[in-house]
Structure 1
Amino acid sequence: MTRMVRICIQSLLKLVNSFLAMFGMGMILYGIWMIRAWHRQIHDSDYPAPWFIYTMLGLGVTFCVITCSGHIAAETANGCCLYCYLVFVVFLLMLEGAVTMDVFLNRNWEEDFPKDPRGNFNEFKDFIKENFDMCKWVGLSIVSLQGLCTVFALVLKGLGPHRERYYDSDEEYTLDEVPLLRNYQPAYVVGAPVYGTR
């Protein structure tokens, strides 16, 4: 029974990680699209791309790396892999929570971010304000999926090691394999040597 539950949790963890990987690939594609739009806008000038484009690309790559480690952790169900995966996911959740709290609680949150001399960050803010409902649901979906990944990884870790030995009945094993299950009588007797008659 435990084996079936473990297989089900492994499959669910892989499925949720696949959705997170799709979000990561979407962020990477959006970052590449923004770089192309940036280069079309500035033509031949040597201005560097704005910081938020690189942030979008970095977050996309981070999501993809974390989901790859999640697939490896789900497949092996190894304690070390699951712990590393959990550390990555929890760290990312804490980072997302810190940025969200800074934006919502700090009235001067724009001062915390680097300056954008070309004003493209204002265009990005305007896009988010115009499409706030969609951005809100995408953000909530990402955080919910990360929470599900954390729960599934904890349950998978709680189910124990990959290999198990079930002792349903004592008759399935020889006495040499499990000597403490019965009164074990050794195959030899220690004592005075027995001599035959002459």
Structure 2
Amino acid sequence: MVRVVRSCIQSILKLANSFIGMAGLAMILYSVWMIRAWQRETGELPFAGDFSYPAPWFIYTFLGLGVTFCVITCSGHIAAETANGCCLYLYMVFVSVLLLLEAGVTVDVFLNRDWEQDFPKDPSANFDKFKDFIRSNFEMCKWVGLSIVAVQGLSLLLAMILKALGPHQYYDSDEEYAPERVPLLKNAPRGPHPPPYVVVDPAYASK
């Protein structure tokens, strides 16, 4: 029964991690699009060390978040597949830190009226475009954000349950199959000395 429950939790955890991974891939693709737009406007890559423009921190942040989501997804798949305590603990630490960062940013946005001043000026203007897109599509963005946070919380809960169940129990001996051979022992002769079995060549038996 425990093995069936563990397998179900592993499958659900992998599915939740896939959702987080898709969000990370979407962030990376959007970051690549912003990098191409920056290159068209300035003629330089944003990662070049020698350019006259301030660093486009919004592109760096979005790309870093996408890569972080993908790393968490990979670690979650490994932890779900192996059900190893160390891997699950490391995965839970990653998800917990990410949830704390998201909670801190959310609290700052909702409680601080001058939250925009906490961020430096973005020379690529993608930050302003992103804000305008969220304001014009607030309901959709709200549900997408809540879905991502809910999946992260579900992944953390499933990892905790999987860690509590413990790792897989593998049996390398033949004791697992002993009950199937026990009925055959009932036909064996009982007594202090069982009769010996002699193998005789048919050629000698005919003589």
TM exceeding 0.5: yes
Q: 1:1-198 maps to which residues of 2 (within 5 A)?
A: 1-43=1-43, 46-48=52-54, 50-117=56-123, 119-163=125-169
Query: Take 2:85 and 2:124, find their aligned partners in 1: how far apart are those partners?
Result: 48
> In the TM superposition, what whole-angstrom CA distance separates every residue of 1:133-163 from its partner, at most 9, and x where no partner exists?
2211211111011011011101111112321
Query: Take 1:155 and 1:20, find their aligned partners in 2: how far apart are those partners?
Result: 19
Q: Which AA in structure 2 matches 1:15?
A: L
Query: Take 1:118 and 1:36, find their aligned partners in 2: how far apart are those partners?
Result: 11
Match of 2:175 in 1: none
Q: Which AA in structure 1 matches 2:25?
A: M
Q: Which AA in structure 2 matches 1:154?
A: M
| Matched residues, number | 170
Query: Take 1:125 and 1:65, find their aligned partners in 2: how far apart are those partners?
Result: 26
Offset at residue 124 of structure 1 (A): 2.3
Query: Take 1:33 and 1:49, find their aligned partners in 2: how far apart are those partners?
Result: 17
Partner SS state of residue 4, structure 2? helix
Unaligned runs of 5+ in 2: 45-50, 172-180, 182-207
TM-score (norm 1): 0.78
Partner SS state of residue 161, structure 1? coil
Q: Which AA in structure 2 matches 1:42?
A: T
Partner SS state of residue 53, structure 2? coil
Unaligned runs of 5+ in 1: 166-171, 173-198
Higher mean displacement: 119-128 or 51-60: 119-128
Distance 1:32 1:49, change over 3 A: farther
> Contact 1:103 / 1:109 at 8 angstroms: preserved in 2?
yes
TM-score (norm 2): 0.75
Partner SS state of residue 153, structure 2? helix
Q: Which AA in structure 1 matches 2:68?
A: T
Distance 1:41 1:132, change over 3 A: farther
Task: Specify the structure having the higher radius of gyration (Cα).
Answer: 2
Higher mean displacement: 107-116 or 25-34: 107-116
Query: Take 2:42 and 2:54, find their aligned partners in 1: how far apart are those partners?
Result: 10
